[in-house]
């Protein structure tokens, strides 16, 4: 593995602010447990899926599906859930000094969660347990950045459903709202099968299909492949 990988997991020890296509915040100052609900400027988009429309001219997000984990007056952050990274979870655990006898866990593909701080790790999971650094995304859905959740997964004692991602996506104040107005994205309610079950190549179409949108037809009308 390349040398930068050895610096990749500092985030498991010290979750912090992240900046992306703006200045989205991952954790509020003081406490890592911040529930993404209503914010002072209106309704939160947290716990929804953001689907890139064919008209979006951004190679980093083409045909992407992003779970919006937090949205408030300062911006938004999310994790892309349909793009593979070049790493497996076994490689991640090995680099962190965590052993596991589970071949299925070790072979699990780590997601490329977005272009913001790609050296930082995020675990998106279900369950009701609070780990050391956990963001409540929605009912029974969490985002954790602390090492303890990986150690539990390796022991077979972790959440029932979990995916690991490197990096995230971020938007500054008002940026996501404007991009929605500009028809760059389609927003739909979160679907657990899109997050945890479906093969990665199927998630883009399946997420849009949950509200009856056929992205193939959208692509035909927009003139983009």
| pLDDT for 6 | 34
Where along the chain do its domains lie? 3-222
| Mean of all residue pLDDT scores within the chain | 80
Buried b (16+ CB within 10 A) or exposed e, 14-32: ebeebebbbebbbbeeeeb
Percent of the chain past pLDDT 70, that is, above it, reads: 78
Residue 223 in this model has a pLDDT that exceeds 60: no
- Going by their DSSP bridges, the two strands 48-52 and 65-72 should be labelled as antiparallel
Q: What is the pLDDT of residue 42?
A: 57
Q: Does domain 3-222 have CATH number 3.40.1740.10?
A: yes
Q: Mean of the pLDDT values across residues 127-133?
A: 82
């Amino acid at each position: 593995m390349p040398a930068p990988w050895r610096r990749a997991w500092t985030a498991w020890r010290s979750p912090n602010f992240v900046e992306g296509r703006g200045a989205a915040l991952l954790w509020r100052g003081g406490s890592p447990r911040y529930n993404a609900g209503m914010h002072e400027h209106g309704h939160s988009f947290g716990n929804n899926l953001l689907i890139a429309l064919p008209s979006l001219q951004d190679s980093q997000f083409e045909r992407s599906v992003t779970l919006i984990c937090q949205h408030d007056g300062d911006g938004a952050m999310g994790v892309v859930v349909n793009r593979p990274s070049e790493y497996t979870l076994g490689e991640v655990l090995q680099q962190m000094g965590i052993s596991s006898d589970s071949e299925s866990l070790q072979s699990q593909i780590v997601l490329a969660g977005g272009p913001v701080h790609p050296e930082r790790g995020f675990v998106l999971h279900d369950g009701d347990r609070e780990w050391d650094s956990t963001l409540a995304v929605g009912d029974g859905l969490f985002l954790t950045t602390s090492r303890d959740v990986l150690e539990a997964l390796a022991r077979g004692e972790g959440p029932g459903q979990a995916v690991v991602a490197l990096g995230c996506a971020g938007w500054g104040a008002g940026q996501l709202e404007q991009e929605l107005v500009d028809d760059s994205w389609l927003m739909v309610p979160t679907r657990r099968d899109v997050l945890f079950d479906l093969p990665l190549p199927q998630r883009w179409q399946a997420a849009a299909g949950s509200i009856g949108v056929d992205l193939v037809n959208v692509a035909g009308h927009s003139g983009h492949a």
